[in-house]
Amino acid sequence: MIVKSERERFDTSHPNLCSALRWKGLFIDAEPDPTVPPCNDGLFWCMHTQTCIGPDGKLAEPGNCHDSGRKCHCNAGA
């Protein structure tokens, strides 16, 4: 089993993130402040299941939800 670093697991800047992945940072309407460290609290959920588990039974977090080979992955344009 490959263990991903926390930074890799919670990186929301990945260009191929599933469009169904949600986290509270999406709903904060403020300019990023580089002097404030990111919270990276790891609270992610899938829009389809409304839980931290995706439709395929795997964790809904950026480290898992950027793989377009995942059956439930939604392209950004979908």
Whether the pLDDT of residue 77 is over 60: the answer is: no
Residue 4 included in any domain: no
When the pLDDT of each residue in the chain is averaged and rounded to a whole number, the result is: 85
Give percent above pLDDT 70 in the chain: 88
Residue 2 included in any domain: no
Long-range contacts of 65-71 (CB under 8 A, 24+ apart): 65/17, 65/18, 65/20, 65/21, 66/14, 66/15, 66/16, 66/17, 66/18, 67/16, 68/16, 70/18
Residue 59 included in any domain: yes
Residue 19: the pLDDT is 94
Number of structural domains, the chain? Answer: 1
Whether the pLDDT of residue 50 is over 90: the answer is: yes
Structural domain for 70, as ranges: 16-25+41-78
Residue 11 included in any domain: no
Residue 46 included in any domain: yes
Residue 35 included in any domain: no
Whether the pLDDT of residue 52 is over 80: the answer is: yes
pLDDT digits 0-9 by tens, 23-42: 988 887 888 788 887 665 67
